[in-house]
Structure 1
Amino acid sequence: MVTKPILTGERIVLRPITVDDAAAMFASLSDEESMRLTGTQQTFSFEQVQQHCQRVSQADDRVDYAITLKDDPAYLGEVVLNEIDWQNRSASFRIALASETLFGKGYGTEATQLIVTFGFHTLRLHRIELEVYDFNPRAQHVYEKVGFVREGMRRDVLLWNGRYQSAIIMSILEDEYADKEMC
């Protein structure tokens, strides 16, 4: 079982997701802008969300964290390292804030920095990768600020409101992170 300690930043705390987060996670699925930015097209029942929370809390190939404020344990979103390949020391990254009202406050940047640090320092990963849709320049800027490098593009992977969108592939390697950390 992967150890999932609480990660504390300046303003936020990342704590492992539990089944108790299911209600807030389910409510976040009604935020249209969050769904657009993550490319979430399917719908989920509350029971499916509960099962997901239960499953990820016990998984060995991923770490799922709830984003909370230091002074308030309420779920603001999630940040995840998943598809962990222990042999090749790599993982995929994703983040979702629960509501558009949380955008632009720095929570996503701080959560990204905390989970990337955890990935390299604690999980001993070599590579963390992500995909971000081409219509999300704000997220692209955050990822670049943290040290992710653009690798390429998957063209026309998402059909949203009658238009195809592409996904930009980005990654950060442990030595790039170490160099960034030294600055």
Structure 2
Amino acid sequence: MFSGEKIKFRKLVPADAESYHEWRNDFSVMRSTSPYLDLYSSMETEEFVTMISTSANAKSYMIETKENEKPIGVVSLINLDFKNRSAECVIDIGDKSMWGKGIGFEAMSLLVHYAFSELNLHRLSLQVFSFNQNAISLYEKIGFKVEGQSREALYRDGQYHDVILMGLLKDEAKLETN
């Protein structure tokens, strides 16, 4: 359930703030995933990681390599709604040396499989910046469909960009583990 070919998940804990702090303060990492580019103090990151790792309506996991258990990113299901069986997906691959190696696809596939098979969710959603074509292609490969967009909702690199809203229903997921 929490292990793939190259990676595995483990529960995100407050002690993970140190790894996350490095990624959170790297603009090249957060440029494509966070609407807020800023420099954060260690204390601010500790508070943030504690908040997301202990939230009652979220499940957050550290992504580690299977080879050496090195932390390389974070995945989360946020805004968990068990009545309507839905959640929003979030992913950050913080270790830039792991970019372009299929880690994002494997991590999202594991997260989607967990959400549908273990949590019995019916619907997943996510938000992605319109300039992040690699992520959009990855999500579409898993089966996510564009459901809308927030026009010019993000100001980045001197211009406005749309935020694309995507959704996936359980019976639409394109997973090898189905």
Q: TM-score, normalised by structure 1?
A: 0.90
- How far did residue 58 of structure 1 move? 2.5
Separation (CA, whole Å) in 1 of partners of 2:120 and 2:44: 32
Runs of 4+ in structure 1 over 4 Å off: 179-183
| Among 166, 169, 174, the residue aligned to 1:170 | 166
Which range is displaced more, 95-104 or 63-72?
95-104
Q: Distance in 2 between matches of 1:15 and 1:40?
A: 26
Note closer, same or farther for the CA distance 1:44–1:182 as it changes in structure 2 (3 Å cut).
Answer: closer
Counterpart residue number, 2:103: 107
Contact 2:113–2:177 under 8 Å retained in 1: no
Mapped pair 1:21 → 2:16: yes
**How far off is 1:74 after superposition?**
2.1
Matched, 1:83 2:70: no
Alpha-carbon offset, residue 123 of structure 1: 1.1
Q: For the Cα contact (< 8 Å) 1:133–1:165, is it kept in 2? A: yes
User: Which residue among 150, 156, 173 is the counterpart of 2:152?
Assistant: 156
- Secondary structure of 1:169's aligned partner: strand
- Partner of 2:91 in structure 1? 95
- Please point out which of 38, 53, 60 is paired with 1:42: 38
Q: Is 1:116 matched with 2:112?
A: yes
Secondary structure of the residue aligned to 1:121 is helix
TM-score by length of 2: 0.92
Cα gap change, 1:101/1:180 in structure 2, threshold over 3 Å: closer, same or farther?
closer
CA deviations 1:49-70 (Å, max 9, x no partner) are: 2122223332221110111101
Which residue in 2 is equivalent to 1:11? Answer: 6
Map Cα deviations across residues 138-170 of structure 1 (whole Å, 9 max, x no partner): 001110111111111110111112200101111
- Contact map agreement 2:125 2:166 (CA 8 A) in 1: yes
Deviations 1:20-65 (A, max 9, x none): 2111100112322211101332332211221222233322211101
Q: Which amino acid aligns with 1:23?
A: E
Gaps of 5+ in 2: none
2-structure distance, mates of 1:113, 1:40: 26
Report matched runs for 1:48-67 at 5 Å: 48-67=44-63
Query: Taking every aligned residue pair, what percent have the same amino acid on both sides?
Result: 33
Per-residue CA distance 1:74-104 (angstroms, 9 max, x = gap) = 2101111101111111111110111333210
RMSD: 1.8
**Which AA in structure 2 matches 1:28?**
W
Contact 1:158 1:164 in 2 (8 A): yes
Q: Which residue of 1 aligns with 2:26?
A: 31
Unaligned regions of 5+ residues in structure 1, if any? 1-5
Aligned residues: 177
